[in-house]
Structure 1
Amino acid sequence: MINPSKLEEIAKQISGALPPGVKAFADEFEAKTKQVLQAQLSKLDLVTREEFDVQTQVLLRTREKLTALEQRLTELEANNESKSSEPAEKE
């Protein structure tokens, strides 16, 4: 779901911005930062790229089917109207 290398990169950037006196705690700070980032990101309702792509394809197929059904309905309504406007045969 979340790219761990990206989290590591963000944590390193944050720890790299610390003053030199604080760098002694950089490893612990980096670990805590990763932990906090991971916890906060896991609360988000995210999907993987693969899931997103699959749902996009499902949506496209559904739209195609809907368009075909709308077209068919229009044809059926046109046929029904033409049949109802024809004069009835006398017996």
Structure 2
Amino acid sequence: MMERLDIDQIALRLASLVPPGLADAQKDLRANFRDVLAQGLRRLELVTREEFEVQSQLLARTRARVEELERRVAELEAIAAARGS
């Protein structure tokens, strides 16, 4: 998930876009932007790159195992069919 520092930096950049005449509101807006961004990101249920890589590797191993099992089942079915004839 995004680091708290990243969220703070985005909130600061958004607050800096507020016109200078509203400088007093910038502090409040920055806090509100930060809260809204953090809440929105939590709802997305994002995973870290590391978690993604681990799951990708697990999926690749699972696919390889399934393919091996399908090959073995086909062999056993062929043997069973040959014995049956």
- TM more than 0.5: yes
Partner-residue secondary structure (3-state), 1:46:
coil
Matches within 5 A, 1:1-91: 1-85=1-85
Q: Higher helix share goes to which structure?
A: 2
1:24 offset after TM fit, Å? 2.8
Q: Indicate the structure (1 or 2) with the bigger Cα radius of gyration.
A: 1
Cα RMSD between the aligned structures?
A: 1.5
Q: Number of aligned pairs?
A: 85
State the identity as a percent. 39
Instruction: Tell whether the 8 Å contact from 1:15 to 1:23 is kept in structure 2 after alignment.
Output: no
Query: With structure 2 as the length reference, what TM-score do the two structures score?
Result: 0.84
Once residues 18 and 46 of structure 1 are traced to their aligned partners in structure 2, the CA distance between those partners, rounded to angstroms, is: 29
